[in-house]
Amino acid sequence: MKALVFDASALLALLFDEPGAAAVESLMQRAAEKEQAMLMGAVNWAETCYRIEAKRGADALGRAEEFASNAPITIVPADRELAEAAAAYRAAGLLALADAFAAALAKQRHANLVTADREFRAVEKEVTVVWLQS
């Protein structure tokens, strides 16, 4: 079974109880039951953190960090190979930099990318996208 890579929009939907939250929760539950890898790139985790703090403050960020430490999502560091793949997406004008990291991680790991961000339409030929309601 393919791993799942979560974009910031997916985790933010879950944490803010936005449209798509139930789908993210369901995907995570099914993945955990099947021992399917759940991943998020470090750059996307950074994006998630700053958006939480900007929107809800430091207390909310603390709760998100606690969630992440207990959730079965592995935060994947950005190594040189991943950075260069992300740079290629960005240089081609296909994606913003953080989104480019998510797409590059999904492609590198042959994983499904979970997102509500329609910007990822630009890479659907290279990456399987699981679309959330936005």
Whether 13 and 122 have beta carbons less than 8 Å apart is answered as no
Domain count, the chain: 1
- What is the chain's Cα-based Rg? 14
pLDDT at 64: 75
pLDDT of residue 34: 93
Q: Which domain holds residue 55?
A: 4-131
pLDDT at residue number 134: 61
Residue type at 4 in one-letter notation: L
CB 2 within 8 A of CB 27: no
pLDDT score recorded for residue 75? 93
* pLDDT at residue 109, as a whole number: 97
Please name the residue that has the structure tokens 């909310």. Answer: 60
CATH number at residue 45: 3.40.50.1010
In sequence order, the 6+-apart residues with CB closer than 8 A to the CB of 80 are none
* pLDDT of the chain, 134 residues: tens digit per residue: 799 999 999 999 998 889 999 999 999 999 999 999 999 999 999 999 888 888 878 777 777 778 777 778 999 999 999 999 999 999 999 899 999 999 999 999 999 999 999 999 999 999 999 999 86
User: Residue 44 CB: number of other CB atoms within 10 A?
Assistant: 26
CA distance 86 to 103: 7
